[in-house]
Amino acid sequence: MPNSRPIEELSELEATLELAKLARTIAEHDKRYYQDDAPSVSDGEYDALRQRNDALEQRFPNLIRRDSPNKRVGSTARSGFKKVRHAVPMLSLSNAFNRDDVQDFHDRICRFLSLKSARELTIVAEPKIDGLSANLRYENGTLVMAATRGDGQEGEDITANILTLDDIPKDLGAGAPSVVEVRGEVYMRGDDFATMNQRLMEAGKPEFANPRNAAAGSLRQLDPKVTAERPLRFFAYSHGALEGLALSSHLALLDRLRAWGFSVNELTQSCQSVEEMIAVYEGIQDKRATLGYDIDGVVYKVDDYGFQERLGFVARAPRWAIAHKFPAERATTRLNEITVQVGRTGAITPVANLEPITVGGVVVSRATLHNEDEIKRKDIRPGDWVVIQRAGDVIPQVVEVQFDKRQGDPEPFAFPRNCPVCDSPVERPQGEAVARCSGGLICRAQRIERLKHFVSRDALDIDGFGDKNVEAFAALGWLDSPVDVFKLEQRADELRTMDGWGPTSVDKLLAAIESARRAPLNRLIFGLGIRQVGQASARLLARYYTSFDAWSVAMHKLADGDAVIEAELLNIDSFGQAVVVELQRFFANEGNAAVVAELGAIMDVEPVEAPTETGSAFAGKTLVFTGTLQSMSRPEAKAWAERLGAKVSNSVSKKTNFVVIGADAGSKANKARDLGVPILSEQEFRDMADGKIETSSDLGTAPVETASLTSEISS
């Protein structure tokens, strides 16, 4: 039974501890009810726990947990699903928020492809369904595997649950390709959602917050019988792996999907200009409220598959697609207090603590205020009534103050000059908007945030090691640096005696930690939380140095001021001075360097090989492009070279293998000639890429004279 002590007598600390216990207890009862079909308490006892939790959250809205019972139904039991590696990554999309963003997207594609007329480009516009992405694999026409998107590289096996959906054909019939992966969105219609919630309410069961949560929770039930009872549907919109079928365009794929029996959204249209793209977007937005299912924008895709292949990908998104999001939903509420939080890089971020308000189907009680300048510019003060929106329908932010509701003349917020956690001075580098704690790793907040980042999905991806566990283990003195994550096995016996931890949950956590010992170099680099080093930069570093040892040696040299390594890093295409400076600062810190060295000793860091293509003459080679190319743009040439396994650099050195020159090539061609680096014409580059020329020795001359190349291009 719940605590009987009056809630108004509880301190924040006592409320925090009780909410944590209630979350664990209710989750366990949900598991027994939804998964095991063996409830261990009466409905009345369960309801009392929920009511106590609700009352605590009402009294202390700032303490509402991410795993609050009010944010879920049943138990997703993530660890109950087998992991599946996607044959073709399921990447995310870049976002556009206005017409200028859409115009920039269209212009970039035209420049990249060197199109003479924008009318050569056909764009397909389709509604962006707000559901759960799924990948369905068919072999010889039969559905053999279904998986969630997961982190884009690896998802969860939900085959048994997907087989319960009437919208999904189990066999594609005669003439199906040997392999096809159909991708789409599992969703729930609004009327079905309302009916289902009504049944749950009448049965005394907790309701879902919105259709998307309902779809996700229903699809990820351990018992397929539960999924079968839920009104789930599926829209197909793309493919992954494909063998035994040649398609020329996205529209051709959609026609084939319809023929196989999939539902394809009827609002999908082709466009020949930005004006038509915007018109489709506005038309779909006007219909949004009457569709019967949730959408949060429009996705634009290049129709021609040949163009898609040439455009390729950048970081985690394709160059050939973008999501044009609908304007964020807004609401008005009172700002009770402004506090600050300290991030893993020391960034001091002001936070608005709000009267809880529902925005876009989600209860919001906190919103970012970005930085000190933003607070001053908008003149935001405690006690103000403010307009809140969820940026990109995700991150809550304060849009503006309703000055007509301001009472009196409240004091402006005083931005702290010392860190609220470690009391170190707060510094704001000249020219930067963000103020930072100068305490580094002596600041407990930074240590904890770095540890959360280290175990997060995009870093080491340790299943079951959430933010709350990091905080709890750090409070016990078990976690101080990333190295300590791999020492938790020494605490196994103590952990098994703690409230909420049983033998099974402890064993699963330790197994996940042990699995994380073997991690790709790029994930480890990203997981260290070095400022300016995001996922894209981490991949570039991993590809350039390939192994942990090579990267580590180079970083120590950089910390010692090695100009050669600095120049080497700056030569990596798209690498900037800011990244190099932060790498140097990080490794100049002896504590950081020691942590990296110890991680290298206790982990099995997998080398990252550059992508290669069979027969590629450029695999592992370093290329520099200079001058104006005629048959393709420079960005396309660089992307093509990288797909063939090459490293693309910005400047010529003795380590450069080839310099590819176009018309009006200048100093880079001259430097290549001086260093004896082979020079390729645009046509020779294309021939080597296509395998018509196997090595530079087949070129006849190396280096080749610029004049002869220019005349060759002209002819």
Q: Per the structure block, which two tokens stand in for 73?
A: 């139904």
Q: Per the structure block, which two tokens stand in for 188?
A: 């729930």
Contacts of residue 562, defined as CB under 8 A and 6 or more positions apart, other chains included, come to none
φ, ψ for residue 337 (rounded to 5)? -160, 150
CA-to-CA distance for 179 and 135, rounded, in angstroms?
Answer: 13
The set of catalytic residues is 128
Answer whether 211's CB lies under 8 Å from 189's CB.
Answer: yes
With H, G, I as helix, E, B as strand and everything else as coil, classify residue 440.
Answer: helix
Rg over alpha carbons for the chain, rounded to the nearest Å, is 28
Q: Per the structure block, which two tokens stand in for 641?
A: 């070279």
Residue with tokens 């997907």: 162
Identify the helix (H) or strand (E) that includes residue 473.
helix 467-475
Contacts of residue 229, defined as CB under 8 A and 6 or more positions apart, other chains included, come to none
C-alpha distance from residue 306 to each of 117, 249, 320 (Å): 17, 8, 11
Answer whether 336's CB lies under 8 Å from 354's CB.
Answer: yes
* Cα angle, residue 176 at apex, residues 171 and 182 outer, rounded to 5°: 70
Q: Is the peptide bond before 703 cis (omega within 30 degrees of 0)?
A: yes
Answer whether 474's CB lies under 8 Å from 467's CB.
Answer: no
CA-to-CA distance for 413 and 636, rounded, in angstroms?
Answer: 49
Report the phi/psi class of residue 431: left, alpha or beta, with left for phi > 0 and alpha for psi in -120 to 50.
left
3-state secondary structure 598-618: HHHHHCEEECCCCCCCCCCCC
Q: Tell me which amino acid residue 587 is.
A: F
CA-to-CA distance for 392 and 324, rounded, in angstroms?
Answer: 10
Exposure of 667 by Cβ count < 10 A (0-12 exposed, 13-18 middle, 19+ buried)? exposed
With H, G, I as helix, E, B as strand and everything else as coil, classify residue 9.
Answer: helix
The alpha carbon of residue 325 and the mean position of all alpha carbons in its chain are separated, in whole angstroms, by 17
The total number of residues shown for the chain amounts to 715
Answer whether 334's CB lies under 8 Å from 385's CB.
Answer: yes
Q: Per the structure block, which two tokens stand in for 405?
A: 């509701």
> Counting runs of H as helices and runs of E as strands, what totals does the chain give?
26, 26
* Cα angle, residue 518 at apex, residues 513 and 524 outer, rounded to 5°: 90
Answer whether 353's CB lies under 8 Å from 413's CB.
Answer: no
